[in-house]
Amino acid sequence: MFKNNKIMQLWLLSLATTSVAAQAETKEETITVTQGVSEEPTAPVKGIVATKTLSATKTSAEIVKTPQSVSVITRDQMNMQDVTSVSQALR
């Protein structure tokens, strides 16, 4: 069937060592979850820096993970700058 028995032996040896190596790497990683205070995107922001946003999909997301440019202007920031119109707020 096989003309070169040495090649067959090497092939079987490599197949066996590959499966042993694959079985040795099945260590699972432990993940620890802690509960923290979550900012609601529709709730008033404390201070002038917002960390959450509500997107068009109506899901809460962190602003730093939003794949586009987002500018959040809070009520406190508008009061500090004495803003009277949207165009003034966006300057």
What are the structural domain ranges in the chain? Answer: 52-89
What is the tens place of the pLDDT at every residue in 53-73? 666 566 666 766 666 666 778
- Does residue 88 have a pLDDT over 70? yes
Quick one: pLDDT band at residue 26, thresholds 50, 70, 90? low
Beta strands 52-54; 60-62: pairing state = antiparallel
- Does residue 79 have a pLDDT over 60? yes
18 or 87, which is more confident: 87
pTM of the model: 0.30
79 in helix, strand or coil? helix
Contact 74, 48 (CB under 8 A): yes
The dihedral over CA atoms of 31, 36, 39, 43, expressed in degrees to the nearest 10, equals 140
